[in-house]
């Protein structure tokens, strides 16, 4: 089963579709190796979708990534810190300035 999990992670990581989990840039060495697990993604999707690991392993990559993204966002929305993290992730993806807010905040400067 663990070979299947590694295969799913490898294939889905490279799959097209533009379904990304919100994340902020991290520094190297920030995630300690002793807290990394191979099935976190499966557990998150399992809890969110009410599916067991075998059912999840049978999903196509696009469906798995969609469920994983939705499950992650759902979990993060449960706390103030999580909502702030999602907001920061969204801000990091913006490539155009928010001109309305800038004018409002700096028009009298």
Between residues 49 and 14, which one has the greater pLDDT?
49
pLDDT tens figures, 67-106: 999 999 999 999 999 999 999 998 888 888 888 988 998 8
Confidence of residue 12 (pLDDT cuts 50, 70, 90): low
Confidence at residue 31, expressed as pLDDT on a 0 to 100 scale: 60
Please tell me the pTM assigned to this model. 0.68
Confidence of residue 11 (pLDDT cuts 50, 70, 90): low
- The residue ranges of every structural domain in the chain are 1-16+39-97
Confidence of residue 56 (pLDDT cuts 50, 70, 90): very high
Q: Which residue is associated with the tokens 């155009």?
A: 96
């Amino acid at each position: 089963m663990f070979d299947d999990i590694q295969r799913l992670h490898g294939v889905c990581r490279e799959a097209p579709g533009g379904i990304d989990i919100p994340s902020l840039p991290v520094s190297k060495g920030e995630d300690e190796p002793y807290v990394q697990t191979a099935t976190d993604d499966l557990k998150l999707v399992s809890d969110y979708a009410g599916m067991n690991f075998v059912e999840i392993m049978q999903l196509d990559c696009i469906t798995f990534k969609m469920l994983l993204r939705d499950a992650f966002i759902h979990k993060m929305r449960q706390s103030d810190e999580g909502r702030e993290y999602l907001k920061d992730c969204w801000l990091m993806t913006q490539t155009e300035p928010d001109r309305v807010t800038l004018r409002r905040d700096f028009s009298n400067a």
